[in-house]
Amino acid sequence: MIDLRSDTVTLPTPEMREAIARAELGDDVYGEDPTVNRLEAMAASMMGKEAALLVPSGTMGNLAAMLTHCARGTKALVGSQSHTNLYEAGGASALGGIVLTAVANTEDGELDMGELRRELGTPADDHFAQPSLVVIENTHNRCGGAPIKLSHMAEVSDAAHQRNRKIPLHLDGARIFNAALALETTPKEIASGADTVSFCLSKGLGCPVGSLLCGSREFIARAHRTRKVLGGGMRQAGIIAAAGIVALTTMVDRLAEDHQNARALAQGFALVAGLNVRPVANRTNMVVFDVDGDADASRRFAAAMKERGVLISPREATSFRAVTHHGISRADIDRTVAAAAQAAGEVFGD
Ligand SMILES: *Cc1c(COP(=O)(O)O)cnc(C)c1O
């Protein structure tokens, strides 16, 4: 199967399995796992922060960040199309009593600055839940994997960090290495205006599990407690961290291949009648496309792709997402485009 549903389907590389087998271990709840400590130091340095914390998932990274930053009854300002708003099961509200407040995302994944500034300007009046955090996502998953420009990152950071009322900024950098590659910069630069940043090892970087939350030493010490509350304090977590170290040393540069493959896929799909690729100014590893016809035709198209050995992920009723990753070769892209031409001919042709 050519599995384009997500970059989370990636399997660990042989080198990761080797590193997992050889990992030096200790009890990480006591801070004594040397492999976890090494990974956390690497992550902190790559993100330009003082400290980092290994957590089981990106969702827990964002949740631990929100629970650590925000008091109950205060507002976390999140993008309307963001992962924190749509795909984290309302965890910040359910577990932290945080008022998740959506700020409109533009089509290219930026935050609507007018709306953000209005929320940030909420009067310090007892009637109003007070803003306590801004969350920004880069790359922006739901907006076609778009990398968010440094100029917008800085604008959001400046708006949050007003002189009289400094609201912290958390960056959901699940795919920050994809963003850095597309923007021709470093994760450190992207995260420079953010107080905290989380990123995933388990997506394009290919690890079986794991994310890192990075920030100041003081913040990470508090997040360590939050992680325990959430049940995310793991013991010999070095078996996870070992793969993470391999990921950060061997899997970052190769993301360029995924971006090239996604561009080739978008170009290929653009020539298939019945498919309409959503444009992304600076494509990373995702292709979102709409299909002609109704929801039923759309389901038949996905089934026809599956019959030909290609899995894609449904989004809205008549749109799909295809994600490239290290399990996908250039030959797979060519086979996928050929399969799409046949499937579209079958379903949308007359
Ligand atoms: C995948 C993802 C997450 C969450 O990661 P999980 O490890 O799946 O919990 C958070 N934010 C974004 C933007 C993501 O794409």
Q: In this predicted structure, what is the pLDDT of residue 338?
A: 98
Alpha-carbon distance 249 to 16, whole Å? 11
Nearest residue to 69 (alpha-carbon basis) of 201, 200, 218: 218
**pLDDT tens-digit series, residues 131-152:** 999 999 999 999 999 999 999 9
User: With 0-12 CB in 10 A as exposed, 13-18 as middle and 19+ as buried, what is 212?
Assistant: buried
Residue located nearest, by CA, to atom 8 of ligand 1: 58
Sign, CA dihedral 4-7-12-13, equals positive
Residue located nearest, by CA, to atom 10 of ligand 1: 58
| Owner of token pair 């009046």 | 125
Q: How far is the CA of 147 from the centre of ligand 1 (A)?
A: 15
Within 8 A by CB and 6+ apart from 28, the residues are: 36, 54, 233, 234, 235, 236, 237, 238
Within 8 A by CB and 6+ apart from 231, the residues are: none
- The closest-lying atom of ligand 1 relative to the alpha carbon of residue 139 is 13
Regions of the chain short of the pLDDT cut 70: 350
In terms of phi and psi (left: phi > 0; alpha: psi -120 to 50; beta: otherwise), the region of 277 is beta
- Structural tokens at position 69: 């930053």
Q: In this predicted structure, what is the pLDDT of residue 118?
A: 96
Alpha-carbon distance 250 to 164, whole Å? 44
Q: In this predicted structure, what is the pLDDT of residue 350?
A: 66
**pLDDT tens-digit series, residues 242-275:** 999 999 999 999 999 999 999 999 999 999 999 9
The interaxial angle of helices 238-250 and 14-22, nearest 10 deg, is 140
Domain segments of the chain as ranges: 14-250, 254-348
Give 227's Cβ-side CA count (13 Å radius). 25
Query: In sequence order, what DSSP letters do the residues of 205-222 get, joined into one string?
Result: T--SS-EEEEE-HHHHHH
14-250 belongs to CATH 3.50.30.10: no
In terms of phi and psi (left: phi > 0; alpha: psi -120 to 50; beta: otherwise), the region of 198 is beta
Q: How far is the CA of 310 from the centre of ligand 1 (A)?
A: 23
Same fold, 14-250 and 254-348: no
Sign, CA dihedral 44-48-50-55, equals negative
The best mutation among 59, 80, 171 to test binding of ligand 1, ranked by most ligand atoms within 8 Å of the C-beta, falls on: 59
Tell me which H or E stretch contains 197. Answer: strand 196-200
Model's pTM, two decimal places? Answer: 0.97
Domain covering 254-348 in this structure, CATH number = 3.90.1150.10
Q: In this predicted structure, what is the pLDDT of residue 296?
A: 95
The best mutation among 5, 170, 172, 212 to test binding of ligand 1, ranked by most ligand atoms within 8 Å of the C-beta, falls on: 172
Alpha-carbon distance 104 to 116, whole Å? 8
